[in-house]
Amino acid sequence: MARFRPSTTVIIALVVVAAAAIVLAVRAGGPPLVPADLPATDRQLVEFLLLLPVAALVCSVVRNVIGLHTFGTFAPALLGLSFREVQSPVGAFVLVTVLSVAWIFRRGLARLNLLQVPRSAVMLSIVVSLLVAFVLYSHARGRSVAGALPFLPLVIVTGLVERFWTTEEEDGTPAALRTMFATLLTAAAVFLVVRAEVVRQTIVDYPETLGFVIAAQLVLGRYTGYRLTELFRFRDLAEGVS
């Protein structure tokens, strides 16, 4: 009978889990690593950085287990974290509006045959101009939206416009729209996970729990099974075989 031999990746994941568990046991009841008197801005930055691996894990599950295609891995992770910082639907509205208008400008830039780096710089300038115009317009109407913008990653937004345009050119508009929808859906999933108080409290008070996140990412990296979307796509074939 053949013996089960765990892969090196699984062994490393188990070692990481054991190390994290030992540190948690040693620190049980002790003071948090992130001091309570940390300035608000610094604490906000620490929370953002500590939650980023959790957001990346959610994106990995969406891409490798569920099977949704998104524009990159870190784009939906950063967008989801940005929505958490904003804590308002205004951020999502601003993002969709800026993406739509910037996409129109991108179609116009395509006729100029610019090089990639200058084209991206122009797109970044256009995105910034759109956001500034939106802030001034909202201020004129007595509605401040400045709090919805500082955490909106402008480089990610510009990259999304470029990726959307490239996908549209190669695979058509429907494919680009599906990928954009999957990206925003993944960002929404990240937002729901990282906004949970138990997740934030655990990861901030016990940063060593990142060991469990790393272990999950390692194991997920060895996943070679079917994606959920593949089971749905090939259900007719499976029924025919059975």
Is 37's pLDDT higher than 50? yes
Examine residue 241 and state whether it is found in any structural domain, yes or no: no
CA distances from 118 to 60, 114, 159, 197 (A): 32, 7, 13, 42
CA distances from 152 to 53, 94, 200 (A): 18, 9, 20
Examine residue 130 and state whether it is found in any structural domain, yes or no: yes
Cα angle: 224, vertex 228, 234; to 5 degrees: 95
Domain that holds residue 144: 8-23+39-225
Mean pLDDT across the stretch 14-35? 83
Count of domains for the chain: 1
Q: Which two tokens stand for residue 97?
A: 């509006």
Examine residue 73 and state whether it is found in any structural domain, yes or no: yes
Examine residue 14 and state whether it is found in any structural domain, yes or no: yes
Q: For 69-108, write each residue's pLDDT tens digit.
A: 888 878 888 888 877 766 556 666 777 777 788 888 888 8
Question: Cα separation of 156 and 47, whole Å?
Answer: 20
Examine residue 233 and state whether it is found in any structural domain, yes or no: no
Contact status, residue 34 vs residue 205, Cβ threshold 8 Å: yes
Q: For 110-153, write each residue's pLDDT tens digit.
A: 888 888 788 888 888 888 887 777 777 777 777 665 555 555 56
pTM for the structure as a whole? 0.78
